[in-house]
């Protein structure tokens, strides 16, 4: 395949040191999905003449997330499932270098040959990987050198994008389509890591006895408890529904193909479970009642000696507090309860006489009920009772890029929606997030369902 541009810049690398929903058919959900996709497409699929600007803004946002942190903050790994911020900054750069530059730039030379191993996450098709649980041991390369790596790769990426805008020869339509698809995947991938950077640094700082803030409250800002939202139950009638991505906007491969599922009549909660409600579960002995827990969840809870959500802190005199990006703050009763595992979400639902939605129910309900105060997006990812599995007819892409989602479709549960840490133009109705049942360092919460 011919290259898109003729040369690689010769830069020497550094040494690594609501009321009930009305009856509608599946077309309604598809229409709303298409509207959402159109909005996402406007944000994410602008004309090529603006593609370079979008790339720059997206890459800058990762640096903005890292700005409040010291070099020491960026190097440490809180646990095997999390990664250092420095590693995220390097890995997202590695993705563009490995999957875009290596394929499309003539005379490609890597910034540093060892980075191919150091910053490969899980792509067996690329080759050897540095152990995930030891990423915090990588004191070299330094943060400064990682930032130089980003700057170098960005310059080369923008040469490719500028070449497209200038209409340089040697870029056929198929090659152009492949380049744009991989560029889009790389940008969406970086947005995923931007959310992970925020959640990974939060758990790291929370382990410090000083309970340091990631960032200070803006001057004059006070974290007030929001007004209570009344919990309502919305009936959704039984029927065949369509779920999965439709339209021209970006989606990950695990959101396809769009297909039909039958759902029985059910009721969907109008908002997420809040802190006051979850506190009532704790005070009622929810963490001590084995009848509420799945067997594996009960064993996990006892093994970890858990009695409350991840970032709650008990104070006999001052009451419950919660560790936040602004440091330790009084628990706000009417904010959504977050950083909960699937096991905790399932136990709470059983205690409340309810259950979790399936992902088909969630997508169908969200399409019908989206509106002010309903918290489908931008508050917390919502656990569903659906195991993460391929949709009927799913086929992973060939090559290393095909490892992006498909090989993880086992022993995990689907979460839907988006969280306060999700980039604003990254969410969509059909997005399928997934984590193992014990994960709770992500911004995950509970939306209840019950049979109609």
Question: For residue range 312-342, what is the model confidence (pLDDT) as tens digits?
Answer: 999 988 899 999 999 999 999 999 999 999 9
Whether 360 and 254 map to the same domain: the answer is yes
3 state SS of 312: strand
Structure confidence at residue 7 as a pLDDT band (50, 70, 90): very low
Final residue of a structural domain among 206, 223, 244: 206
Sign of the torsion angle spanned by Cα atoms 204, 210, 214, 217: positive
Whether 123 and 253 map to the same domain: the answer is no
In a domain, residue 2? The reply is no
pLDDT of residue 118 exceeding 80: yes
What mean pLDDT do residues 4-26 have? Answer: 39
pLDDT value of position 172: 72
Domain limits for position 261:
233-451
Q: How many contiguous H segments (helices) and E segments (strands) does the chain have?
A: 12, 13
Whether 442 and 337 map to the same domain: the answer is yes
In a domain, residue 89? The reply is yes
Q: Tell me the pLDDT tens digit for each residue of 42-70.
A: 334 444 448 999 999 999 999 999 999 99
Structure confidence at residue 150 as a pLDDT band (50, 70, 90): very high
What is the CATH classification number for the domain harbouring 330?
3.90.1580.10
Least confident of 106-110, 147-151, 399-403: 399-403
pLDDT of residue 36 exceeding 90: no
SS (H, E, C) 325-344: CCEEEECCCCCECCCCCHHH
pLDDT of residue 115 exceeding 60: yes
Whether 322 and 412 map to the same domain: the answer is yes
Whether 55 and 190 map to the same domain: the answer is yes
What mean pLDDT do residues 191-215 have? Answer: 98
Q: Tell me the pLDDT tens digit for each residue of 264-295.
A: 999 999 999 999 999 999 999 999 999 999 99
Over the chain, what is the mean pLDDT?
89
Q: What is the C-alpha to C-alpha distance for residues 59 and 384, in angstroms, rounded to an integer?
A: 32
Whether 157 and 53 map to the same domain: the answer is yes
Whether 195 and 265 map to the same domain: the answer is no
pLDDT value of position 1: 40
- Tell me 153's DSSP state: H
SS (H, E, C) 187-229: HHHHHHHHHHHHHHHHHHHHCCCCCCCCCCCCCCCCCCCCCCC
In a domain, residue 219? The reply is no
Largest CA distance in the chain: 72
pLDDT value of position 167: 63
Whether 85 and 201 map to the same domain: the answer is yes
Structure confidence at residue 170 as a pLDDT band (50, 70, 90): low
In a domain, residue 201? The reply is yes
In a domain, residue 339? The reply is yes
Whether 184 and 314 map to the same domain: the answer is no
Final residue of a structural domain among 189, 206, 223: 206
In a domain, residue 7? The reply is no
- Tell me 426's DSSP state: G
To the nearest whole percent, how much of the chain has pLDDT over 70? 87
Whether 198 and 334 map to the same domain: the answer is no
Q: What is the C-alpha to C-alpha distance for residues 331 and 337, in angstroms, rounded to an integer?
A: 10
pLDDT of residue 33 exceeding 70: no
**Overall pTM surpassing 0.85 (yes/no):** yes
**Number of Cβ atoms within 10 Å of the Cβ of 407:** 11
pLDDT value of position 4: 47
Whether 278 and 396 map to the same domain: the answer is yes
Least confident of 198-207, 227-236, 375-384: 227-236
pLDDT value of position 164: 77
Structure confidence at residue 399 as a pLDDT band (50, 70, 90): confident
- Output the DSSP codes for 105-132: BTT---S-TTHHHHT--S-TTT-----G
In a domain, residue 345? The reply is yes
Q: Is 192 exposed, middle or buried (0-12, 13-18, 19+ CB in 10 A)?
A: middle
Q: What is the number of structural domains in the chain?
A: 2
Whether 336 and 243 map to the same domain: the answer is yes
pLDDT value of position 113: 96
pLDDT of residue 6 exceeding 60: no
pLDDT of residue 241 exceeding 60: yes
In a domain, residue 172? The reply is yes
Structure confidence at residue 225 as a pLDDT band (50, 70, 90): confident
């Amino acid at each position: 395949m011919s290259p898109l541009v003729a040369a690689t810049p010769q830069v020497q690398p550094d040494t690594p040191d609501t009321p009930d929903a009305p009856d509608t058919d599946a077309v309604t959900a598809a229409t709303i999905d298409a509207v959402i996709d159109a909005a996402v497409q406007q944000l994410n699929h602008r004309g090529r003449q603006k593609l370079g600007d979008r790339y720059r803004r997206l890459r800058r946002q990762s640096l903005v997330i890292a700005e409040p942190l010291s070099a020491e903050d960026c190097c440490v790994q809180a646990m095997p499932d999390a990664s250092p911020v420095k590693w995220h900054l390097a890995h997202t750069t590695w993705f563009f270098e490995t999957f875009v530059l290596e394929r499309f730039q003539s005379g490609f030379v890597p910034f540093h040959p060892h980075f191919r191993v150091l910053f490969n996450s899980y792509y067996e098709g690329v080759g050897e990987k540095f152990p995930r649980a030891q990423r915090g041991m990588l004191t070299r390369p330094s943060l400064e050198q990682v930032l130089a790596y980003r700057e170098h790769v960005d310059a080369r990426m923008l040469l490719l994008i500028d070449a497209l805008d200038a209409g340089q020869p040697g870029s056929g339509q198929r090659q152009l389509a492949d380049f744009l698809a991989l560029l889009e995947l790389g940008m969406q991938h970086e947005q995923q890591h931007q959310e992970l950077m925020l959640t990974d640094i939060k758990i790291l700082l929370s382990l410090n006895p000083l309970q340091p803030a990631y960032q200070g409250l803006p001057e004059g800002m006070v974290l007030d408890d929001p007004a209570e939202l009344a919990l309502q139950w919305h009936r959704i009638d039984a029927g065949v529904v369509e779920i999965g991505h439709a339209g021209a906007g970006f989606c990950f491969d695990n959101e396809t193909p769009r297909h039909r599922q039958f759902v029985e009549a059910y009721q969907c909660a109008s908002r997420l479970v809040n802190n006051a409600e979850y506190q009532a579960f704790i005070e009622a002995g929810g963490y001590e009642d084995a009848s509420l827990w799945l067997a594996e969840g009960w064993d996990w809870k006892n093994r970890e000696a858990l009695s409350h959500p991840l970032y709650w802190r008990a104070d006999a005199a001052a009451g419950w507090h919660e560790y936040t990006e602004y440091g330790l703050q009084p628990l706000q009763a009417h904010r959504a309860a977050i950083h909960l595992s699937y096991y905790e979400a399932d136990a709470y639902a059983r205690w409340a006489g309810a259950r979790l939605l399936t992902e088909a129910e969630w997508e169908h309900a969200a399409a019908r009920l989206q509106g002010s105060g309903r918290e489908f997006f931008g508050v917390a990812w919502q656990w569903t009772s659906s195991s993460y599995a391929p949709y009927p007819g799913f086929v992973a892409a060939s090559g290393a890029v095909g490892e992006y989602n498909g090989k993880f479709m086992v022993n995990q549960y689907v979460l839907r929606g988006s969280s306060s840490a999700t980039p604003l133009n990254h969410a969509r109705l059909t997005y399928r997030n997934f984590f193992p049942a014990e994960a709770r360092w992500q911004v995950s919460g509970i939306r209840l369902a019950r049979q109609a």
